[in-house]
Structure 1
C-alpha cells in the first residue's frame, strides 16, 4: 500500500519528483564528483528554456493588466508604492545583516593575509564587468528597439514597452477591438508552454545539485561554517519579520503561501535561480487573488529592485571580509557601507558576478579593506545561492500581496481560500477596485 502511494506521488506530484531529484543529485555529486560536475548543462538548459518565455509573458500580463484595470494612474500608483516597499525592505535587510555580523563576528580569528589572495580570481568570476551607474541603469531600462528588448530578455525594457502598449490600448479603445483578445490568447499559449517545460524540472534540479556538490563538495561548509550559519540565520529572521508584516498588512500567512508554492520554492532552491519560477509564481499570485496589473508590475520589477537575500549577503559579507583581514570598521564607515550597498544592490540581477562587483565597490569606497580580500568569499558564494534565492523570491511575492492590498487590487477572501488549500474557481479573480479611479469601467473593447 505504501509502495503504491509512493509510486503515485512520484508519478503525479512535481514537488515529490523535484525532492527526489535533489536528493539523488546530492548523492551523485558526493560519490562521483567528476560525473556530477559534468551534469551542470541539465540545469542550465532548463533555465534557458524558462528564460525564453519570461519577456513575452511579462509583456502580455502587464498589457492585459493595464487594459483591464482601465486606469493608467492606478498603475502608476502601484509602481510608486512598490518602489517604496522595495527600498524599505532591502534597507532593513542590510541593517539586520550588519547588526548580526557585528554581534557574532563571523570573520573574527581568521587572520587572513590579503597578500596571499588572488584578486584576479574575482575578475574571472565577474568576467571583467562592472556595475552600472545610476544614469546607465536608467538608460538601459529604456529599449532601443522593440525587438531588442525581447531578444536581450531585458525585463525592465519589456516592462516599459508593455506600459506604452497598455496605455495606447486604453487611449484607442474600440478602434482596436481585436488586439487585447489576441494578447490574452498569446498569454494562454505561453502559460501552456511553461507547463510543458516544467515537466523537465526534476532533471534540471538533479543536474544542478550534482554539479554543485561535485564542484564544491561539503568541505566548504566546515571552512566557512560560521559565515554560512550567520547568513542563513539572518535570512530566517528576516523572513519571520516579513511574515509578521504580511499578516499585519494583509491578514495572510506566509507559511501558507510557502506551502501553496512549495513546488516552485523547491525548484528555485534546486536550480539556484528564482528566474526559473517567475512564470509559475505570476500564475499562482494571479490565482491567489492579486490583480494582473499588480502582479505584472511588482514581481518582475522586484527582480531588479528588491533583492533582500542579496542585501543580507552583501552586508554580512562586507563585515566578514573586514574582520577576516583584521580591519575594525567604525560606525561612520558602517553607515557608509549601508549607503553604498543601497545603491550597488539595485539592478544586480543579470550582471555576472554582481555580488563581487558590489563588494569590490564597497571595499574601494571605504579605502581600508584591501581589494584582494573580496576573494575570500569565492569559495562560499555558490553555497549562499539558496539563501539568496529563497529570500529574494519570498520578499518579492510578499511585496505583490502588500502593494496589491494597498491599492485595492487584492481579493482578500480569495487569497485566504487559495492559501488555505480550499477549492476555488480556476480563473484568477478580478477584484473590484476600491477607489473612485478604479471604479471606472475599462474603455477597451476586450475588457
Structure 2
C-alpha cells in the first residue's frame, strides 16, 4: 500500500516529480560525470520552449489588465510605485551583502597573485560583450518593429507595445469590440501551451542538475565554501526581511506563498532559470488576489530592475575579490561599490555573463582591483545561480503583492483563501483592495485550495493551473484575472 501511494504521488504531483528528478540528476552527475554533463541540452530545450511563451503572454496579460482597469493613469501609478520598491529592495540587498562580506571576510587569507589569473576567461564567459549605457538601455527598450520585439523576445519592448496597445483600446472603446476578447482567448491558448510544456519540467531539472554535478562536481563547494555560505546566508536573511515587510504591508505570509508555489520554486532552482516559471508565477499571482495589470507590469519589469539575488552576489563578490588579492577597501570605496552596482545591476537580464560585466565595471571604477581578478569567481558562479534565481524570483513576487496592495489592486480575502487552505470564509462582503470578488475568483480559490490540501496535481491540473481551464476547453474560455 505505501508503495502504491508513493507511485500515485509520483505520477500526479509536479513537486514530487521535480524533486525526484533533481535527486536523480545529482546521482547521475556524481556517478557518471561525462554522461551527466552531456544532458544539459534537455534543460536548455525546455527553457527555450518556455521562453517562446513569455512575450505573447506578457503582451496579452498587460493589454487585458489595462483594459479591465479602465484607467491608464492607474497603470502609470503602478509602474512608478514598482520602480520605487525595486530601488529600495535592490539597495537593501547590496548593503546587506557588503555588511556580511565585511563581517565574514570570505576572501581573506587567499593571497592570490592577480598575475596568475587569466583575464581572457572573463571574455570567454561574457562573449566579449558589455553592459549597455543608460541611453543605450533606454533605446533598446523601444521596439523598432512590432514583430521584431516578439522575434527577439525582448520583454521590455513587448511591455512598451502592450502599454501602447492597451491605451489605444481604452481610447477606442466600443469601436473595436472584438479585439479584447480575441486577446483574452490568445492568452488562454498560451497558458494551455505552457501547461503542456510544463510536463517536461522533471526532465529539464534532471538534465540541469546532472550537468552541473557532472561538470563541476562537489569539490567546488569545498573550494569556495565560505563564499557560497555567505551568499546563501545573506539570501536567507534578505528573504526573512522580505517576509516581515510582506506581512506588515499586505497581511500575506511569505511562507504560505512559498508552499503555494513550491513546485515552481523547485523548478527554478533546478534549472537555474527564473524565466522557466514566469508564466506559471503570473497565473498563480493572479489567482492569489493580485490584479492583472499589476501582475503583468511588475513581474516582467522586475526581471530587469529588481534582481535582488544578483545584487547580493555582486556586492559579496566584489569584496571577496578585493580580499583575495589583498586590497583593503575603505568605507568611501565601498559606498562607491554600492552606487556603481545600483546602476550596473539594472538591465542585466538576457546579457551573457552580465554578473561578470557588472563586477568588471565596478572593479574598474574603483581603480584598485585588477580587472583580471574577477576571474576568481568563475569556479563558483554556477553554484551561485540557485541562490540568485530563487531570491530574484521571490523578490519580484513580493514586489507584485506590495505594489498591488499599495495601489489598491489587491484582494486580501482571496489571497488568504488561496494561500491558506482550510481558512474559514470571511462572512459577508470581503474587504477587497481593488479586485472584485467574483464567481470566477472564488472558483479559482477553491480549485487552488483543493490542489494544495491534496499536495498533488494531476496531469490535467498541471495544464489547468497554468491555463485556467482544461486543454479541451481552452479555446472556448477566457482566463479570469485574479
For residue 143 of structure 1, give the secondary structure of its aligned residue in structure 2. Answer: coil
Are residues 117 and 68 of structure 1, via their aligned partners in 2, closer, same or farther at CA, if it must alter by over 3 Å? same
Instruction: List per-residue Cα deviations over 1:384-412 (Å, max 9, x = no partner).
Output: 00000000000000000000001110000
1:220 Cα deviation from its structure 2 partner: 0.4
Matched, 1:329 2:329: yes
Distance 2:279 2:338 in 1: 32
Distance 2:198 2:159 in 1: 24
Distance 1:234 1:301 in 2: 24
Distance 1:159 1:431 in 2: 27
For residue 378 of structure 1, give the secondary structure of its aligned residue in structure 2. Answer: helix
Instruction: List per-residue Cα deviations over 1:216-266 (Å, max 9, x = no partner).
Output: 000000000000000000000000000000000001100000000001000
Residue 2 of structure 2: aligned partner: 2
Residue 308 of structure 2: aligned partner: 308
Instruction: List per-residue Cα deviations over 1:118-158 (Å, max 9, x = no partner).
Output: 00000000000000100000110000000000000000000
Residue 150 of structure 1: aligned partner: 150
Distance 1:393 1:414 in 2: 22
Are residues 182 and 432 of structure 1, via their aligned partners in 2, closer, same or farther at CA, if it must alter by over 3 Å? farther
Aligned length: 433
Distance 2:238 2:433 in 1: 32
Residue 258 of structure 1: aligned partner: 258
Residue 443 of structure 1: aligned partner: none
Residue 135 of structure 2: aligned partner: 135
TM-score, normalization by structure 1 = 0.95
Indicate if the aligned counterparts of 1:289 and 1:431 stay in contact, CA closer than 8 A.
Answer: no
Indicate if the aligned counterparts of 1:260 and 1:421 stay in contact, CA closer than 8 A.
Answer: no
1:424 Cα deviation from its structure 2 partner: 11
Residue 437 of structure 1: aligned partner: none
1:421 Cα deviation from its structure 2 partner: 2.4
1:431 Cα deviation from its structure 2 partner: 5.7
Residue 292 of structure 1: aligned partner: 292
Distance 1:229 1:309 in 2: 14
Indicate if the aligned counterparts of 2:291 and 2:434 stay in contact, CA closer than 8 A.
Answer: no
1:63 Cα deviation from its structure 2 partner: 0.1
For residue 380 of structure 2, give the secondary structure of its aligned residue in structure 1. Answer: coil
Distance 1:89 1:163 in 2: 25
Residue 198 of structure 1: aligned partner: 198
Matched, 1:171 2:197: no
Are residues 397 and 424 of structure 1, via their aligned partners in 2, closer, same or farther at CA, if it must alter by over 3 Å? farther
Residue 81 of structure 2: aligned partner: 81
Residue 94 of structure 2: aligned partner: 94
Distance 1:172 1:278 in 2: 31
Distance 2:33 2:374 in 1: 27
1:37 Cα deviation from its structure 2 partner: 0.3
The two structures, once aligned, show a CA RMSD in angstroms of 1.6
Indicate if the aligned counterparts of 2:25 and 2:208 stay in contact, CA closer than 8 A.
Answer: yes
For residue 421 of structure 1, give the secondary structure of its aligned residue in structure 2. Answer: coil
Indicate if the aligned counterparts of 1:360 and 1:374 stay in contact, CA closer than 8 A.
Answer: yes
Distance 1:431 1:137 in 2: 38
Matched, 1:36 2:36: yes
Are residues 311 and 432 of structure 1, via their aligned partners in 2, closer, same or farther at CA, if it must alter by over 3 Å? closer
Residue 218 of structure 2: aligned partner: 218
Distance 2:432 2:27 in 1: 47
Residue 404 of structure 2: aligned partner: 404
TM-score, normalization by structure 2 = 0.88
Distance 2:285 2:25 in 1: 30
Residue 60 of structure 1: aligned partner: 60
Indicate if the aligned counterparts of 2:412 and 2:431 stay in contact, CA closer than 8 A.
Answer: no
1:433 Cα deviation from its structure 2 partner: 3.5
Indicate if the aligned counterparts of 2:416 and 2:423 stay in contact, CA closer than 8 A.
Answer: no
Where structure 2 has 5 or more consecutive residues not aligned to the other structure, the ranges are 436-479
For residue 380 of structure 1, give the secondary structure of its aligned residue in structure 2. Answer: helix
Instruction: List per-residue Cα deviations over 1:252-291 (Å, max 9, x = no partner).
Output: 1000000000010000000000000000000000000100
Residue 376 of structure 2: aligned partner: 376
Instruction: List per-residue Cα deviations over 1:56-80 (Å, max 9, x = no partner).
Output: 0000000000000000000000000
1:379 Cα deviation from its structure 2 partner: 0.3
Indicate if the aligned counterparts of 2:101 and 2:316 stay in contact, CA closer than 8 A.
Answer: yes
Matches within 5 A, 1:427-438: 433=434
Distance 1:174 1:63 in 2: 16
For residue 268 of structure 1, give the secondary structure of its aligned residue in structure 2. Answer: helix
Residue 24 of structure 1: aligned partner: 24
Distance 1:277 1:344 in 2: 25
Where structure 1 has 5 or more consecutive residues not aligned to the other structure, the ranges are 435-445
1:430 Cα deviation from its structure 2 partner: 13
Residue 439 of structure 1: aligned partner: none
Instruction: List per-residue Cα deviations over 1:154-207 (Å, max 9, x = no partner).
Output: 000000000000000000000000000000000000000000000000000000
1:423 Cα deviation from its structure 2 partner: 9.0
1:32 Cα deviation from its structure 2 partner: 0.4
Instruction: List per-residue Cα deviations over 1:314-358 (Å, max 9, x = no partner).
Output: 000000000000000000000000000000000000000000000
Distance 1:367 1:137 in 2: 25
Distance 2:232 2:246 in 1: 21
1:422 Cα deviation from its structure 2 partner: 4.4
Matched, 1:351 2:357: no
Are residues 382 and 424 of structure 1, via their aligned partners in 2, closer, same or farther at CA, if it must alter by over 3 Å? farther
